[in-house]
Amino acid sequence: MHKGRAVLLGVIAALLFCFIIIALFAKGSDEIPPGREKVKPDPWTTMIIPPGGSIFSILDDAGIPHKEIATFAFRFGDHVDVTTIQPGDTLRIQTDPDRERITRAMFVQEPTIRHLFEASGDSLRHTLEELPVEHIIRIIEGTLQNTLDASLIRAGLTTAEKQYINNGLEGDVDFGRKARNGDRFTVMLEERIFEGKKMPGSKILYVSYDGERTGKHELFRFETGDEKSVYNGLYNKEGKTNTSSAVGYPLGRIHVSSAFGRRLDPFTGRWTHHEGVDYRAGFGTSVYAVADGDVTEARYAGGYGNSVRIRHRSGTITHYAHLSSLGARHGQKVRKGQVIGRVGSTGRSTGPHLHFGLMQSGRWINPSQLKMVGAEKLNNQQMKVFALQQQNIRNLLIQVQATRGKSIASRYRITPSQS
């Protein structure tokens, strides 16, 4: 009894001693230097797209397994048009503890657009957050001094805007022979302003060019109501674009889900070269021949699934793959804009999309180099809508000019189209 009590006391004393030691050590390691807060580890890994970098390369640098990068990138492309990715855009990810799987991701474009992704089972839930941007309609006027390019830049337009206006006027105005210094131009555009700074993605609503020898030319923006429609853009009063050398688009709306060049293969997880671009599109969407030509292949072609190849007069070959159905036969002559098949997911494909390839002199080249145009001439249905839109744009022009060309805070809204 007495002995038992001594043992018990001894044990208690030993425990107390241990507690004191632990408490002392713990206190030592827990001590917070003055002025510093104890922070929780950040669950996000943040990566910035470097010049020349891609989603693939930054995730590879972060040590994510190739197979997971390929799967993630494929689903990512369903929601983000990869051609809009710019150096400086930020990707933040959370992974499982083994860094085997991406569980959450946030992709920040410009400062105003955030794509949030959350893995749930086999799919990736996507939500888009857009910070409110101010829309300003502005008129910019100037005169030609030497080149149109230089004159537009001097008037305050960006390189992208200048290019767009130049392409639009190119066919209508004979700059080589008829344009003269002092010719006048007017541009009305809707700018996107965030925290006082101009963001990319302004819309050119109206362009006029007026010279003694060139005559007056006007261009108006036509919109279908679908932001990604290939028909949105500048047309003259008759509904024509002047890009005779351009080829058509293979689809009516364009969202690039995977670009040309180096990428991780979604099946093998290996680095491969993508011999075309992938456009996201729904099952059964019409696929058009981008130019006149002869069908040199219309069959099931292994990994490409149902595949059509067309040889054009220039010798260029275009390739359309993973089709759900073929709409052309081998040896057939096809016209630009003719339906040659429907979008599908045949062959090595993880979801419905169109693979579009472009071959010149036996080599696949980047199809984004092609100058594509939605329509050389709007159809009758589109012309009805366009007539109303032209009137709206004219009214807006008068309204903004009444403020002496100074910007007005408003947003250009197209008339709701009938389709």
Residues near Zn ion (CB under 5 A): 278, 355
Strand pairing partners for 128?
115
First vs last C-alpha separation in the chain: 97
CB nearer to Zn ion: pick between 45 and 71: 71
Give the CB-nearest residue to Zn ion: 355
3-state class (DSSP) for residue 230: coil
Amino acid at 405: G
Q: Nearest to residue 412, comparing CAs of 203, 140, 160?
A: 203
Q: What's the CA gap between 182 and 185, in Å, rounded?
A: 9
Q: Which two tokens stand for residue 193?
A: 């302003």
Amino acid at 404: R
Q: Which two tokens stand for residue 314?
A: 């220039």
For 296, other C-beta atoms within 10 Å of its C-beta total 14
Minimum Å gap between C-beta 360 and Zn ion is 18
CB nearer to Zn ion: pick between 219 and 259: 259
Q: What's the CA gap between 304 and 337, in Å, rounded?
A: 22
Minimum Å gap between C-beta 278 and Zn ion is 4
Minimum Å gap between C-beta 365 and Zn ion is 14
CB nearer to Zn ion: pick between 190 and 278: 278
Minimum Å gap between C-beta 53 and Zn ion is 20
For 292, other C-beta atoms within 10 Å of its C-beta total 15
Minimum Å gap between C-beta 88 and Zn ion is 27
CB nearer to Zn ion: pick between 304 and 412: 304
CB nearer to Zn ion: pick between 358 and 400: 358
Tell me what percent of the chain is helix, strand and coil, each rounded to the nearest 5. 25, 35, 40
CB nearer to Zn ion: pick between 92 and 355: 355
Minimum Å gap between C-beta 366 and Zn ion is 12
Minimum Å gap between C-beta 63 and Zn ion is 26
Full DSSP string of 81-148: -GGG--TT-EEEEEE-TTS-SEEEEEEEETTTEEEEEEEETTEEEEEEEE---EEEEEEEEEE-BSBH
CB nearer to Zn ion: pick between 219 and 317: 317
